[in-house]
Structure 1
Amino acid sequence: MRSKHSLALIMAAGHSRRFGSDKRLARLADGRTLLATTLAAAMDAFEQVRVVVNTQVAPADLGIPEAMVLVIRPAAPVGLGGSIAHAFRELDQPLSRCDVDSVAIWLGDMPWVRPETCQRLARRAAADTIVRPLYRDMPGHPVFFGRDYWPALAANLDDLGARPVLARFADKVIAVPVADPG
């Protein structure tokens, strides 16, 4: 069963400088690209999926269906936190008109997350919670942010992704042990 009250927000706006090429297009053993595999996993787990990309590459070149695209247009290169902030500002109006209580921030280079892991996390997610998986006591992804924390994410321009928001609201984080190394 796919999550109805959570939206998957796949972060794929990076430039892959450390990888040496566009890792979103890196081919996996089964022939699919890294991003396509991540997108398929998210679509198995969520009814609503959006993919955050920048203006450097056409979404169609990445294999992203137009209905799922959320293009950010920052004036200057931004890190993961800035991409998240831009995405949440773009999502603000559509999300305010739907029944989504939480957004799962999912990194575009994490194709092996199991749908049942997302379902387990989604069952704990609510407007006033942050739900994070733990695998062998190590925090992982995706992290579900309830509606109450969206303004903080929209205001966060830190290059550390959502870590400052997680630290600021550490008392609201629900850590859920999972058996999913993905």
Structure 2
Amino acid sequence: MACIALILAAGFGNRFGSDKRRAAMADGRTLLAASLARALEVFDEVHLVLRPEDDPADLGLPADCVIIRCENAGLGMGHSLAAGVRALSTGPGEAIAVLLGDMPWIMASSLRALVAKADPARIVFPMYHDERGHPVLFGRDFWPELQRLTGDEGARRVLRAHASAWVAVGVDDPGVLRDVDSPEALEP
């Protein structure tokens, strides 16, 4: 099963107060670089959705990372997700793991457990203490709908429309719920 990681990192993170993608982690890496590194531990193919003006080096990213530019990033996450899925839709993947650029604490074992359940006809997500987390893996059957997303709702509409395709994977990993909305959230 070819599952491609798509990291959404074209947002503006207004609640953070500055560009959180550049925020320094305890180990010196940027938040976005740490999130990318975690995905690269598990996925053979990882793509980042960024704004047109973003300089990958300025974000602390390696020179060889694969970038998808979203012209309409300022209009919301739905546009970023749609742009990413459109860019990958002609490739051989059977599922896309949609990760957020501010979630570096997801355990590699959790990502592997999700990938093991991926299927073209499934929507797979982690559950931690009865809460749905990230990433969400969308099988190829759902890609046409994802390509039409707009606004700031992300993929909620697609999720609601296809509850029968849901596969919840229980994980013992609070990292699937932990994102960064404020500088204090970077603290261990």
Normalized against structure 1, the TM-score is what?
0.91
Letter aligned with residue 68 of structure 2: L
User: Once the two structures are superposed, what CA deviation does each residue of 1:142-174 show, in whole Å capped at 9, x if it has no partner?
Assistant: 110000000010011131111111001111111
* 1:155 equivalent in alignment to 2:153: no
- Picking from 48, 53, 58, the partner of 1:51 is 48
Equivalent runs, 1:16-35 vs 2, <5 Å: 16-35=13-32
- Structure 2 Cα separation of the partners of residues 82 and 70 of structure 1: 12
1:158–1:164 Cα contact (<8 Å) kept:
no
* 1:124 equivalent in alignment to 2:124: no
2:11–2:74 Cα contact (<8 Å) kept:
no
1:55–1:73 Cα contact (<8 Å) kept:
yes
User: Once the two structures are superposed, what CA deviation does each residue of 1:92-150 show, in whole Å capped at 9, x if it has no partner?
Assistant: 22x2xx2x210000000000111111111111101010001000000000110000000
Q: Tell me how far 1:67 sits from its aligned partner.
A: 4.2
Q: Tell me how far 1:85 sits from its aligned partner.
A: 1.0
Equivalent runs, 1:1-182 vs 2, <5 Å: 5-64=2-61, 65-74=63-72, 77-93=74-90, 95=91, 98=92, 100-182=93-175
Identity of aligned residues (%): 45
1:59–1:66 Cα contact (<8 Å) kept:
no
2:3–2:43 Cα contact (<8 Å) kept:
yes
Aligned residues: CA RMSD: 1.3
Q: Tell me how far 1:56 sits from its aligned partner.
A: 2.7
Q: Tell me how far 1:77 sits from its aligned partner.
A: 2.1
What secondary structure does 1:155 align onto? coil
Total equivalences in the alignment? 174
Q: Tell me how far 1:66 sits from its aligned partner.
A: 4.2
Q: Tell me how far 1:55 sits from its aligned partner.
A: 1.2
- Structure 1 Cα separation of the partners of residues 30 and 74 of structure 2: 24
1:37–1:111 Cα contact (<8 Å) kept:
yes
What secondary structure does 2:174 align onto? coil
2:114–2:124 Cα contact (<8 Å) kept:
yes
- Structure 1 Cα separation of the partners of residues 105 and 159 of structure 2: 23
- Structure 2 Cα separation of the partners of residues 57 and 121 of structure 1: 30
- Structure 2 Cα separation of the partners of residues 61 and 177 of structure 1: 36
- Structure 2 Cα separation of the partners of residues 169 and 156 of structure 1: 15
- Structure 1 Cα separation of the partners of residues 56 and 71 of structure 2: 13
- Structure 2 Cα separation of the partners of residues 77 and 36 of structure 1: 21
Letter aligned with residue 108 of structure 1: G
